[in-house]
Structure 1
Amino acid sequence: MFCAAPRSLRLLVATLAVGVLPALAPPVAGAAPVAGASPQSGRSAQAPPCAAAAAPPAAVDTSEKPAPGQSVPPPLPVPAQPVGGPLLGGCATILPPGAPPLPAGDTAASWVVQNLDTGDVVAAKDPHARERPASLIKTLLALVVVTELKPDQIVVPTKEDAEQECTCVGISAGAPYTVDQLLHGLLMHSGNDVAHAFATALGGVDVAVGKMNRLAARIGATDTRAATPSGLDGPGMSTSAYDLSLIFHYAMKQQEFAQAVATKAYTIPATGGKPPIPVFNDNKLLGSYPGFLGGKTGFTNDARHTYVGAAERDGHRLAVVMMRAEQRPTLVVAQAGHLLDYSFALVDAHAPPVGRIAYEALVATAPPGAPPLNVAPAAAAKPAPAKPDPFGTTGWILTLVVAVIIVVGFTLRHRLRRQRDAA
């Protein structure tokens, strides 16, 4: 006699397999957007290299002419894979899928907006383009300074320090200043005289520039080569919006740096018979943009306008870096504010990042005997997330369903046997 219970069991399993189980299965993750699919998504593997992939555009003046007997160093190697993620190799605008159009008025050749807390790159434009940093390289010098010099350490500028090509704070040769006082002058008013004084204190210009470049290499700034401590153009000078985002990320974790860039007005006290020096912050978003945390401005004829600034809103801290920008038709600080507004909206909408400030992999490449860096990781240390259950919620639901099927099957079979025995 044909047993009805196994057939019923097979029908029940088939019904679940066709209708119920697919609904319980986890959705298949969508593939990452293909670079080059649109002007917003980056560069495809078949596309030619970005115009500024290896070196900045040609200089417009003689500022990078090498000294007699010296030559221009070759461009830094371009990594085989874009640092920070594959999309960051794109030459055009790089936005999350479905992002709204960018605000009008953007004149920068390249830019990056990052999340200072997570290291995520929120949006970008040609982020690894090699550009000239102008005074933004002072953020790298400042990171060397806060790593090697104590805030209350005394620095006495030389005549050469005090007579640098300005912008200058106005420090006096032979007068004693603390490192903290000079740091305010370096970052608030972009003092080239202060930059040279710090370089002298670090062992001389060549030594200081070497320390800046070694630090850049150690933290993974592969596009960066400083040629001067101040950002005045020099042979072989280059960086990128990505690298300056990385450097700024590190620097903002240093209390002395973060306090200096957030200071609107400061007075270097009278010292050595010299009058006090008032210092005002050049960054016009400080005090005008809600939640602004500070930043840095820069300009040379070759670099054009460069900018970094950070702000906090609703518990998120974002920072924008802009390279080779112009003041018309919109002021650079206004462009920066618009990019911050746009990026905060992306974060509020939980848009996925397009890359990440990824320096951890290269920290271990410091040369033997190099002093340890007094820097924190990209994001504050957090407890490791609990490992996901390899079986998963879906697995347990399926197990329960199968168990119910088995119980129902045995129950039906038992009832049929009783009916057959009673017949």
Structure 2
Amino acid sequence: MTTTAAARRRALAVSMTAALLGGTVLAGTATAAPKPTPRPPAQMSGVGGDRLATAGTQVNAAAGVPALPPRITSRSWIVADAETGAVLAAHDAHWKLPPASTLKMLFADTVLPKFPKTTVHKVAHSDLEGMGEGSSLVGIEENLTYTVKDLWLGVFLRSGNDAVHVLSAMNGGVAATVTQMNAEAHELQANDTHVVTPDGYDEPGQVSSAYDLTLFARQGLQNADFREYCSTATAQFPGEYKKDKSGKATKTRETFAIQNTNRLLSGDYDISRYSGIAGVKNGDTTNAGATFTGVAQRGGRTLLVTVMNPSHDAHNLVYREAASLLDWGFKAGPSIQPVGTLVPPLSKLPHTAPPSPATSASPALRAATSTGSSGGGLWTAAGIAVGTAALLAVLIMVVRRRRPLPAEVRGAGAPIGGRRRRGGRRRRGR
């Protein structure tokens, strides 16, 4: 009896231990369950063509057109001809996502034309207030003076939120600048974009899209100063004034080197500078992941690419995916039929009331993405395809006439900026 009772007690103890361990394992498993993979909305904006409103990859595969790169993990991307505006291929291009510091391109479109590059500004304490925790900084100090050119180099090379806030202060303050940026987004028909903070720092409700970011880059490249800043790989930035032996400041000001964080422009230990790269802007925040818009020119063609949020945090993955899409775009050549177009600003349209995004496409384009058709499908689809291609060709001709890129961007003249330049972990605010 004693042996049997002892055996029962041991069996009960083992059973209770197993139950406790099982409960712990189950509880741990439930806690560590992965979050659902974000998915694009079923219907997105039709600005630029109805195919861009359709979820998934959009490309016109045909004989002689190379296959798209097989391992693109970014949630959203687009490849477009910078001069004609033709969208060569896209994946969820109108998906509204946090933009990180690629939003600084819209900031530049809005503020850069307002101040000559030689303008000098003395930084006040209030100019640097309100920056988000962990913001990327170029190293601006209060009570020191900087030229507007210095500040813009800080924005483009180091993605300095301190430079953005100083320029915003010169522009009437952060709130006024945000209002103007939203107005500029509307002018550019960037209807996916809502600005909350001018530096791209993560804020609730702040979104843009691969399509809109590409519009911002194309707009900025019309401006010579924008082209210079976004294509600069390294620069000297003003520091503090040197001090004499007594500790008194002299008239000699120190400088320190800054390098562009766009790795396709400056290179890195595991990635080379991309041949033909000419800017534009990168970003990386907790909510946005890595984002990048680039412009490159080869063989008389200039392409724009935007990629947003690769699926994992491999080092420099956003640049590798952008480079592979650019390679594909240059190989595809001018013969590929576009799937959409980059629209011009509202002020460049004929003087008629602009159509709303929901009704901007032609009946043929709307029918091309309809899922409710039946009967006569083959011939109807063929007619729609011809009509869509013709309409896109007309749209691209209009965009090209109204949005030609300067010769140095197209590759017909000197490299962007006037002369040749040689060239981890996520951080909130960059």
Q: Same fold (TM over 0.5)?
A: yes
Give yes or no for the alignment of 1:87 onto 2:75: no
Q: Distance in 2 between matches of 1:54 and 1:141?
A: 30
Task: Name 1:341's counterpart in structure 2.
Answer: 327
Deviation at 1:203, TM superposition (A): 0.7
Residues 120 and 286 (structure 1 numbering): CA distance in 2 closer, same or farther, change over 3 Å?
same
Residue in 1 aligned with 2:88? 122
**Aligned counterpart, 1:199:** 168
How far the C-alpha of 1:381 sits from its partner, in A, is: 10
- The equivalent residue for 2:197 is 228
Q: Distance in 1 between matches of 2:110 and 2:86?
A: 24
Once residues 130 and 329 of structure 1 are traced to their aligned partners in structure 2, the CA distance between those partners, rounded to angstroms, is 24
Deviation at 1:327, TM superposition (A): 3.5
Partner Cα distance (1:275, 1:108) in 2: 41
> Does residue 277 of structure 1 match 2:263?
no
2-structure distance, mates of 1:90, 1:211: 30
**Structure 1 unaligned residues grouped into runs of 5+:** 1-49, 56-77, 366-375, 383-423
State the Cα RMSD in Å.
2.6
Looking at structure 2, the residues matched to 202 and 53 of structure 1 have their Cα atoms a distance apart, in angstroms, of 36
Which whole-Å deviations, capped at 9, do the CAs of 1:212-259 have from their partners, x for residues lacking one?
A: 111111111101111111100113111100000011000011111111
TM-score using structure 2 length: 0.65
Cα distance change on mapping 1:97 and 1:54 into 2, 3 Å:
closer
| 1:127 positional shift | 0.5
TM-score norm. by structure 1 comes to 0.66
Match among 264, 289, 309 for residue 274 of structure 2 = 289
Q: CA–CA distance in 1 between the matches of 2:237 and 2:128?
A: 15
Partners of 1:214 and 1:53 lie apart in 2 by: 25
Calculate percent identity across the aligned residue pairs: 33
Q: Which among 100, 104, 124 is matched to residue 134 of structure 1?
A: 100
Matched residue, 2:180? 211
Q: What SS does structure 2 have at the residue aligned with 1:139?
A: helix
Give the partner amino acid of 2:177.
A
Is contact 1:117–1:378 with CA below 8 Å preserved after alignment? Answer: yes
Shift of 1:51: 4.1
Please tell me whether the aligned partners of residues 274 and 323 of structure 2 are also in contact (alpha carbons under 8 angstroms): yes
Structure 1 CA distance for aligned equivalents of residues 149 and 342 of structure 2:
28
Matched position secondary structure for 2:283: strand
Work out whether 1:158 is the aligned partner of 2:132.
Answer: no
Describe the shift of the 1:174–1:153 C-alpha distance in structure 2 as closer, same or farther (beyond 3 A). same
Deviation (angstroms), 1:379: 2.1
For 1:94, give the aligned amino acid.
Q
Q: Who is 2:420 aligned against?
A: none
Distance 2:66 2:212 in 1: 26
Partners of 2:261 and 2:406 in 1: how far apart? 33
Report the Cα offset of residue 194 of structure 1. Answer: 0.6
Given that 1:84 and 1:355 are in contact with CA atoms closer than 8 Å, whether structure 2 keeps it comes out as yes
Residues 277 and 295 of structure 2 are in contact (CA less than 8 Å); yes or no, is this contact kept in structure 1? yes
Contact 1:127 1:240 in 2 (8 A): yes
1:181-200 superposed matches below 5 A: 181-200=150-169
Q: Against the structure 1 CA distance between its residues 233 and 312, is the aligned structure 2 distance closer, same or farther, given a 3 Å change threshold?
A: same
Task: State how far apart, in whole Å, the 2-side matches of 1:248 and 1:381 are.
Answer: 13
From the superposition, tell whether residues 271 and 252 of structure 1 become closer, same or farther in structure 2 (CA, over 3 Å).
Answer: farther
For 2:186 and 2:343, locate their aligned partners in 1 and report how far apart those are by CA, in whole Å.
13
Amino acid at match of 1:184: L
Provide Cα deviations, 1:144-202, integer angstroms capped at 9, x if missing partner.
12222221122222324446342100011121111111101101110011111111111
Gaps of 5+ in 2: 1-37, 242-248, 267-272, 352-400, 408-430
